Amino acid sequence: MKTQLRVLASGLALAFAGSAAFAGSTGSTDQRGFNNDAAITQSYNTNASAYIDQEGDRNVGKISQTGVIGQAKIWQAGVNNTADVQQTHTHARAEVVQKGSQNVANAIQSDGSGQESSIRQSGFNNTASTSQKYDSFAEASIIQEGDQNVGNITQKNGWGQEARIYQAGFNNTANVSQTGASLYASAVQKGNMNVSTITQTGW
């Protein structure tokens, strides 16, 4: 059963990568377990790459990239984890690592320049999302350890944005929302049922 799954995953990767094999495309998946799902779509790209590695059962990993220097990795171990990475232009990168069960991670990056985004979650039922819109030097990073934590980072129109969230414990929530100019933000929470909200507008 494991062998069949791995062959199917490789076939999917080749099909997706082959349909978009302009300069520098790669795309590869490796899956071990039962009923995992992986999909990679790379369009008119220059130097894209994308890897999905999943171990366990019923995990879902999706990567969609469009232009210039892509790269995106998803590594998931456990049961019922979901990760979705969408990137559009310039130096996007994004890395998601999830260990545990029922964790959800979404990374959306748009027209940008020095984009980067990294989500790492371990535990049960954590949710993390990063959204960087027309960014410039945007970065974003969420680390959550424990159960039922929620972390959201939204950065919109750009310049030297950055934002980080670190949460360890149970049922913590952190939201960071930024708009423009040389912004930076950080939220660190350890314990249970803490709530943190950072909103910056700028210009």
pTM for the complete prediction? 0.84
Picking from 163, 162, 166, 132, the residue whose alpha carbon sits closest to that of residue 149 is 166
Q: How many residues does the chain have?
A: 203
Torsions phi, psi for 183 (to 5 deg)? -90, 155
- State residue 169's pLDDT score: 98
Q: Which residues pair with residue 122 across a beta bridge?
A: 99, 145
Contact 125, 98 (CB under 8 A): no
Q: What is the tens place of the pLDDT at every residue in 93-146?
A: 999 999 999 999 999 998 777 889 999 999 999 999 999 887 778 899 999 999
Q: What is the tens place of the pLDDT at every residue in 66-103?
A: 876 778 999 999 999 999 999 887 678 999 999 999 99
Query: Helix, strand or coil for residue 7?
Result: helix
Domain ranges across the chain: 55-202
Place of tokens 């990374």: 107
Place of tokens 């939204």: 154
